[in-house]
Structure 1
């Protein structure tokens, strides 16, 4: 009988508090090995055409070189494949074609090559590439399969040797004490359904990673060593807009971080911290239950201060854990952009934590994790931040929270009519309904403009004439707001509302400008924009938007439903984290 995994008390406490040194991460890696074995075993049991020859080759590789077998089994893309294919076999995930059980042959071939055993097997060809996980890919004409032959220390794929012109090996990104494979070929590397290989120029990535690694070591040597212990692959994605990097990770792929080409090494360092936090919590939640998504709180969605969409409880837990780490990273960066990021994420993370604390569905251990994170963040809230960065962060915080409300919440219609007609309310209005909307642009648009202003003032000046050409979704009134010209921003927002183009971004922009000007309308527009918009619509287009907002400032029920992060109505079809 096998014994259960047990985290030492020190490692358990470190991870519960958002940290975890190399020893704690090594414990998580060991537990993830068992998790992976269970998933692969379940996959083989569920398959009508179990790839037994591949499994035999894996066992031969294991006998010849235990390390080679373990590394291939733990390879992040293998986890994505195993989990996705198992879901397909069980009918819980959609996908075209038959479930991809043949990928196990490629895994076995890689293990056999690394272990130095002789073998002959066929591996799948996916859109012109025969991939050997953790090694690379051979360009192959046609589809179907390609034969892999290993004999006397020589390997041929489709009759051609590794190292030839058609072979694309994976690059190892090196830093002092850390190395990651840059995986640009594995069909399961992007953490979802299979995608074709996309070889990239690795020179830029090597320089960016070396810079990022030095920053991480200077930031926190222990945390950097833990990251080096846990991460295995970095999956490159195309460059995103400046100050809007894309990244991802998956609970099925411990050790993987997906990232767009970063602006610089510092941005990559922050991204690695972010995604490794997700890795750690996912592995921790394979061992311990933090929430019950089937209980009374399981159907509720929540405000996540880093997302445009409402999130279920599990997704929100992942977010606070990740942004706790991000906040800690930026806390040590002294330049204006770093201080802005620190001020922004400490405020948003603690807001989300307080919301989770009121949520149904957390287990006792989940509540302890939330309390630990909030307790560690509390002293950071008192740390001074230079005024320019602090003001920019306050704008970004208020903007995101209010615009999210305007898109996703709908006030009680009876209350709206009462406010519009001046009739008294004889009962408290019902809490707002959640009606998930589709924002017309990213809710971070003004925050991105703030980053431009703080990090590149000359670049900010250059984008004034046509901000949307540089920052997707940006408008001239956004530039005015970020630049401190509240009067111009207010005028432009009012003009837009008057001509019928008053979307949530415009109403919230008007509220931000009013707050700067000391107009009490700003308080109502930022606290309950969905209510102000609805009352204004009831009054008609001729109503003055600021007067409408001022009429709601002193109303005692205008803040109903404002518990941070928690929506008060369950949503039946909540997406899973």
Structure 2
């Protein structure tokens, strides 16, 4: 059986349209969360058609748009066509460059009135000339054209950027090539004002470290920010690639065939890396500076999973959802729509598989944590409205593969730490994003005031999640657990002022993760008694109660949103642990 999808080839590029075909093996590999080099190559080819379709739509929409001080768009296309005639592969590679996809999608949205930007529209539409100039430079053409200047920088996609001082925020500069010499605003390419992109090289994989392209940031244009830490990225990339290759050669080779660039972002807090990807930018991963090679490898796996699923969903529909229903995502602080949850389970399936092969304490913690959270989310997304038959099949395949991992042995200390992190995240998310129905709250408050057992809550509908972000990251205690497992000496230094190193961390969190249960229980309870009972505190009380063997834990962790609301409804006059025990009895 072969699965087919409609071709998106440009009519002037191919003489006739051909459908993209995924052989059964490739189709099944992707549904199972995998995809070897041949499968990824097919996705890359299909993304070429998708990219050409978006660029064609952009050019059609821009036909009547103002060009400002730049040449008309057809001039840029003519230069691109000249380069195409010299080397079709070179031009196709450039058009497939991830940042070109973000440019095309962003500019098309601007032209259609669904996106905003501070830059004049001609700066976005005129970026075509910069793409054409980059293509011409790559194939060795002689040419002359004007390109946009953004805040004093001229950018040639996938090549680098030239600083052009003394220009307005939005301006133009000439790019020319003659007799083998390329000049931008009269300055030679390769001179002191030129910032070339760094290539991250390892045996079998090369990625561009893109710190210049204005469309590299995935969501919208960003300023050119040349980094001074490229050597550090290269120093980590070699070992990261070695980790990937030793863990799973096929996964590594597929990643090498699909990823093109990494967008560097500033270093984040330790054990809290930031990364992102976009369906508009197949082949890239945005990532904060990694703590170490292992984290770098995990991030590449994570974001490449997103890349694969996005490309797959350009060919096949998995769900029909308007985004109005929000869901719990065990890796996020905020509620997510169905599409976001589906992307998450696919990415964290890959993350779980990566950590499954790492045997040290932190690796076992990550494996135990993400196998539990991913399986939990798969059960949730599998029962959600909106998935079609193919979406349900994907969820079923991922579930089939991950369920045996739930029974694999893990070091007891890492398993206990992961269980704490899982319970913490699920309960804190509930406390932050769910609100009991007014009738439920009144009935519970009335029963408590009259000394009666609290009403049973098993038949009540689940509250609808409300958007928003918690005051601190829901992963705060998980980050402390990572410190404890991976760097005990560093963790010891946190004890005096944990919040100075781990944003949002408190002394009672340190006591909880270290197992000083009585101290943690008293501190959480005291915070609630003095009126500082935020979601993290109520859940911390439940976690400490569980460690102490107090049945209050069952009520506080299962319905923290109700415990908090009921305590407030009773003007803080009810004992928090007694409320937890009463809620547990009514569960």
- For the aligned pair, the TM-score class normalised by the smaller chain equals over 0.9
Matched, 1:229 2:284: no
Aligned-pair CA distance for 1:437: 3.5
Relative contact order, CA 8 A, sep 6+: which one is greater? 1
Q: Who is 1:45 aligned against?
A: 60
Q: Who is 1:302 aligned against?
A: 327
Contact 1:412 1:431 in 2 (8 A): no
CA distance in 1, matches of 2:231, 2:50: 35
Query: Secondary structure of 2:584's partner?
Result: coil
Aligned-pair CA distance for 1:368: 0.3
Count matched residues: 553
Alignment of 1:145-184 (within 5 A): 145-184=172-211
Matched, 1:459 2:483: no
Contact 1:407 1:436 in 2 (8 A): no
Q: Who is 2:527 aligned against?
A: 496
Q: 2:553 pairs with 504, 511, 522, which one?
A: 522
Q: Who is 1:32 aligned against?
A: 47
Matched, 1:126 2:150: yes
Tell me how large the CA RMSD over aligned residues is. Answer: 1.2
Alignment of 1:235-246 (within 5 A): 235-246=263-274
CA distance in 1, matches of 2:319, 2:324: 12
Per-residue displacement from partner, 1:337-362 (whole Å, max 9, x unpaired)?
Answer: 00000000000000000001110000
Query: Secondary structure of 1:318's partner?
Result: helix
Q: 1:266 pairs with 294, 297, 301, which one?
A: 294
Q: 1:211 pairs with 235, 239, 263, which one?
A: 239
CA distance in 2, matches of 1:153, 1:192: 36
Query: Secondary structure of 1:410's partner?
Result: coil
Query: Secondary structure of 2:51's partner?
Result: helix
Q: Who is 2:7 aligned against?
A: none
Could you tell me which runs of 5 or more consecutive residues in structure 1 were left unpaired when the two chains were aligned.
559-577
CA distance in 1, matches of 2:480, 2:357: 23
Matched, 1:289 2:317: yes
Matched, 1:254 2:285: no
Aligned-pair CA distance for 1:447: 0.2
Matched, 1:116 2:131: no
CA distance in 2, matches of 1:78, 1:97: 17
CA distance in 2, matches of 1:451, 1:374: 27
Q: Who is 2:108 aligned against?
A: 86
Which sits farther off after the overlay, 44-53 or 495-504?
A: 44-53
Matched, 1:441 2:472: yes
Change (3 A) 1:514 1:504: same
Matched, 1:139 2:167: no
Query: Secondary structure of 1:6's partner?
Result: strand
Which sits farther off after the overlay, 525-534 or 41-50?
A: 41-50
CA distance in 1, matches of 2:314, 2:352: 25
Q: 2:562 pairs with 531, 534, 538, which one?
A: 531
Q: Who is 1:70 aligned against?
A: 92
Q: Who is 1:106 aligned against?
A: 130
TM-score (norm 1): 0.94
Aligned-pair CA distance for 1:4: 1.3
Query: Secondary structure of 1:433's partner?
Result: coil
Q: Who is 1:313 aligned against?
A: 338
Per-residue displacement from partner, 1:166-217 (whole Å, max 9, x unpaired)?
Answer: 1111111000000000001000111122111111121111111111000000
CA distance in 2, matches of 1:301, 1:426: 25
Q: Who is 1:565 aligned against?
A: none
Aligned-pair CA distance for 1:426: 9.9
CA distance in 1, matches of 2:134, 2:399: 45
Query: Secondary structure of 2:148's partner?
Result: strand
Query: Secondary structure of 1:222's partner?
Result: helix
Aligned-pair CA distance for 1:425: 5.2
CA distance in 2, matches of 1:460, 1:467: 9
CA distance in 1, matches of 2:224, 2:116: 22
Q: Who is 2:537 aligned against?
A: 506
CA distance in 1, matches of 2:114, 2:158: 28
Matched, 1:193 2:208: no
Contact 1:409 1:436 in 2 (8 A): no
Q: Who is 2:4 aligned against?
A: none
CA distance in 1, matches of 2:286, 2:119: 26
Matched, 1:17 2:48: no
Contact 1:411 1:433 in 2 (8 A): no
CA distance in 2, matches of 1:97, 1:212: 38
Could you tell me which runs of 5 or more consecutive residues in structure 2 were left unpaired when the two chains were aligned.
1-15, 66-71
CA distance in 2, matches of 1:76, 1:267: 23
Alignment of 1:336-415 (within 5 A): 336-415=361-440
Contact 1:182 1:233 in 2 (8 A): yes
Q: Who is 1:549 aligned against?
A: 580
CA distance in 1, matches of 2:200, 2:455: 64
Query: Secondary structure of 2:585's partner?
Result: coil
Per-residue displacement from partner, 1:137-194 (whole Å, max 9, x unpaired)?
Answer: 1110113011001112210111111111111111110000000000010001111221
Aligned-pair CA distance for 1:301: 0.6
TM-score (norm 2): 0.93
Q: 1:324 pairs with 335, 349, 356, which one?
A: 349
